[in-house]
Amino acid sequence: MPEVTVFSGVLQSEVVEAAARIKGVATRTPLLTSAALDAATGGRIFLKPECLQRTGSFKFRGAYNRLAAIPLENRAAGVVAFSSGNHAQGVALAAKLLGMPAAIVMPSDAPALKVARTRGHGAEVIFYDRLSEDRDAIAGAIAASRGATIVPPFNDRHVIAGQGTAGLEAVQDLAAMGITADMAIVCCGGGGLASGFAIGSQLPLTIVEPEGYDDVCRSLAAGTILPVENPGPTRCDALQTLRMADLTYNILSAHGARGVTVSEAEVARAVAFAFNELKLVVEPGGSVALAAALSGKVDVSGKTVVIILSGGNVDAAVFCACLAEAT
């Protein structure tokens, strides 16, 4: 696998460097298979369960890589991040491990579990209204007043490289089995994981978003960045980004990625399938790639496919509602 491939300024070698940086700190999640899933989809599916990652999502990879890259002399001022919860937890734990203070700007409707876990790692939480306030501006003001480093959830090459280690691991583990995948299916909010996975794996990529938050799908199809038009309620709180960044757009566009959307009902069925057949707890936003395969939104028949289960941080009430709805 070439280590100098360039995707809009981010090198695959940066993913390799990130893998070395997080080794022994982040969990190298396995590839899982399921006869029931293969039968349901007609494909040969390999699942990358980042719900088993530290803090319960892939976000720890990028967060730790970004914080570990901060020069020692700048660490005392700490970091500021903004997130609905998974990036928040990743940054909070990374900061704790590296001895840095962390402030996290979180939406007021963030799941209680994610807020509690973020605080549990010692981070300060500042709430905002996701529909009427600008989290970037709030985080920027806090960082400026403290001299802290801003750690965006996806618009940062160190973060993207860290997320890309999941893709690098997947193709390395497949290669060890003598297998080459035909494609990957990855969830998408702002595009950090998808961009990193594209670089780290170099596999053809389909990104998946919940209905109503399909800005990345529409942007890639239109050839220009388009924001979310009518944001509304969704169980996929982790994927409620209103606009992708130039960096993630350029990477995914250069890679030739395309996207599909899944409904709330399809997401609920994927959450239930993961629980009943895979014995995994996967949050709604973390299950959309699985939902796309199960629903046939992405045709995987006869193909060898990597699907990422990106997170498992879900409130009990939401999880139970998904199981009940899918029954």
CATH code assigned at 35: 3.40.50.1100
Query: Is there a single domain that holds both residue 167 and residue 295?
Result: yes
* Residue that wins the pLDDT comparison between 296 and 12: 296
Residues β-bridged to residue 307:
47, 185
Residues β-bridged to residue 6:
11
Query: Is there a single domain that holds both residue 79 and residue 135?
Result: yes
In a domain, 254, yes or no: yes
The answer to whether 25 and 153 have CB atoms below 8 angstroms apart is no
Residue carrying structure tokens 């139970």: 320
Q: Please give the order of strands across the beta sheet that includes 79-82.
A: 124-128, 102-107, 79-82, 149-151
Among 128-132, 164-168, 232-236, the minimum mean pLDDT is found in 128-132
**Burial of 182 (C-beta count, 10 Å sphere; 0-12/13-18/19+):** middle
Residues β-bridged to residue 32:
47
For 238, the domain range is: 6-57+157-326
Among 94-98, 239-243, 263-267, the minimum mean pLDDT is found in 239-243
Query: Is there a single domain that holds both residue 187 and residue 207?
Result: yes
* pLDDT at position 5 over 90: no
**What's the rounded Cα separation, in Å, for the pair 215 and 234?**
15
Query: Is there a single domain that holds both residue 145 and residue 161?
Result: no
pLDDT tens figures, 74-111: 999 999 999 888 999 999 999 999 999 999 999 998 88
For position 6, what pLDDT does the model report? 59
Query: Is there a single domain that holds both residue 98 and residue 198?
Result: no
- DSSP code at position 311: B
In a domain, 267, yes or no: yes
The answer to whether 202 and 306 have CB atoms below 8 angstroms apart is no
Query: Is there a single domain that holds both residue 73 and residue 52?
Result: no
pTM given for the model:
0.94
Q: Among 85, 120, 151, where does a domain finish?
A: 151
In a domain, 179, yes or no: yes
Number of residues in the chain: 327
Element (H, E) at 250: helix 246-255
For position 7, what pLDDT does the model report? 65
Among 79-88, 185-194, 260-269, the minimum mean pLDDT is found in 79-88
In a domain, 126, yes or no: yes
Query: Is there a single domain that holds both residue 240 and residue 280?
Result: yes
Query: Is there a single domain that holds both residue 52 and residue 173?
Result: yes
In a domain, 1, yes or no: no
The rounded Cα 150 to chain-centroid distance in angstroms is: 18
Query: Is there a single domain that holds both residue 38 and residue 166?
Result: yes
**What's the rounded Cα separation, in Å, for the pair 75 and 258?**
38
Query: Is there a single domain that holds both residue 102 and residue 250?
Result: no
Residue carrying structure tokens 């981010």: 10
* pLDDT at position 69 over 80: yes
* pLDDT at position 50 over 80: yes
**What's the rounded Cα separation, in Å, for the pair 293 and 245?**
26
In a domain, 275, yes or no: yes
For position 85, what pLDDT does the model report? 85
Query: Is there a single domain that holds both residue 207 and residue 73?
Result: no
Q: Among 101, 116, 151, where does a domain finish?
A: 151
pLDDT tens figures, 282-314: 999 999 999 999 999 999 999 999 999 999 999
Query: Is there a single domain that holds both residue 135 and residue 261?
Result: no
The answer to whether 190 and 241 have CB atoms below 8 angstroms apart is yes
**What's the rounded Cα separation, in Å, for the pair 308 and 170?**
10
In a domain, 32, yes or no: yes
Number of structural domains found in the chain = 2
In a domain, 176, yes or no: yes
Q: Among 88, 122, 151, where does a domain finish?
A: 151
